Structure 1
Amino acid sequence: MSSETGHTGQNEKTVTNRTMDMVVALVFMGVSALVMSDSWRVGASWAADGPQAGYFPFYVGLIMFVASTVTLVQNIVTRHPDLTNFVDRTQLVSVMQVLIPTTLYVGLIFLLGIYLASAVFIAFFMWWLGKYSPAKIIPVAVGVPLALFVMFEIWFLVPLPKGPLETALGY
């Protein structure tokens, strides 16, 4: 469609449903193999006193692996593959607008700690996508992590990843 209608990017091919089914099947096969391998390492058989620690996770991983393999094989050998578009460019851009900053946020947690990283993340999204004024951004970006700190660290006594700010404050 034309940009005059405001639908630029719609109906533009990105990736097919078949390709995504195969990629997801391969990812699940990898995760399943990892689960089965680690379960085998800790013991995935039946001992004299019952199942070992990895017994049930091993078989859940095995079921996931078999199901993913079936999905992969079906998509490879089918005579009528689903070649419809998985996502159009407009939708893909919307997903990337959230996925990329969220991935950076997870990385920032290791550098700054969860509370400071959360403040930056909330402030960024409120400014970038919400177009809010600093008068609204600052109280929310400071208040939410502060409330979470009180709830987790003080009330529930659950320590979350700390950064240099919390360390400097003695937490």
Structure 2
Amino acid sequence: MNTPESPAEAAEHSRAVISFRTAEIIVAIALIVGALIVSWSNYQLGAGWGRYGPEAGYFPMRLAIIVVIASIVVLVHAIRNNDQTPFLEVEQARMVAVILLPLLVFVFAIKYLGIYVASTFFIAAFMYFLGKFIWWKCVLISSCVMLAFFFIFEIQFKVPLPKGPLENWLGF
């Protein structure tokens, strides 16, 4: 049963972390920077018309220029429109952080533990903390899933994925 919120609690839940205007400006600038980097690298690769047709960077550079132009249009629109409607509220940001922060730890753990061990911990942690499973089920299921993935990728498909000290110790 939901209990009624006080006005202070309601304000806390509806407080904006970021507005639509700010989000649009951030995304537009990020896309402009990314597209300029792509343009520059494709220009160095060769973005013109060669003796036998388009060079390797011809089409990617043109697509990057289109992204720059579209992003500038979005940036100008966001600045002129000044939409201060909440894009992300405090409670939504918390829900995103619950997934994003462990995911970042997982990505960095792959380098040191290997993908299989890091994935085992990642799955088990999510099952335990978010799914509220009993600890032994978390260990069992995450280990079985990663053993199956190891068998499929390393043994059957012969696809080498990042390995850590455990796999090296076991001779893989």
The TM-score, its normalising length taken from structure 1, stands at 0.91
1:140 match: 141
Please show how residues 11-26 of structure 1 align to structure 2 within 5 Å.
11-26=14-29
How far apart, CA to CA, are the structure 1 residues paired with 2:6 and 2:38? Answer: 48
Q: Cα RMSD over matched residues?
A: 1.8
Q: Which runs of 4+ in 1 moved over 2 A?
A: 1-4, 6-10
List runs of 5+ in structure 2 lacking aligned partners. Answer: none
2:32 aligned to which of 29, 48, 54:
29
How many Å apart are 1:135 and its aligned residue?
Answer: 2.4
Matched, 1:129 2:135: no
The TM-score, its normalising length taken from structure 2, stands at 0.91
Q: Report the structure, 1 or 2, having the larger strand content.
A: 2
Q: Is the 8 A contact 1:16 1:84 kept in 2?
A: yes
1:38 aligned to which of 37, 41, 45:
41
Q: Secondary structure in 2 aligned to 1:127?
A: helix
Deviation string 1:129-164 (CA, Å, 9 cap, x unpaired) is 111102210111101111111111122221111111
How far apart, CA to CA, are the structure 2 residues paired with 1:61 and 1:140? Answer: 44
1:50 aligned to which of 46, 49, 53:
53
Q: Secondary structure in 2 aligned to 1:86?
A: strand
Counterpart of 2:83, as a letter, is D
Q: Secondary structure in 1 aligned to 2:13?
A: coil
* Aligned positions, number: 168
Counterpart of 2:33, as a letter, is G
Counterpart of 2:38, as a letter, is V
1:116 match: 117
Percent of aligned positions with the same letter in both sequences? 39
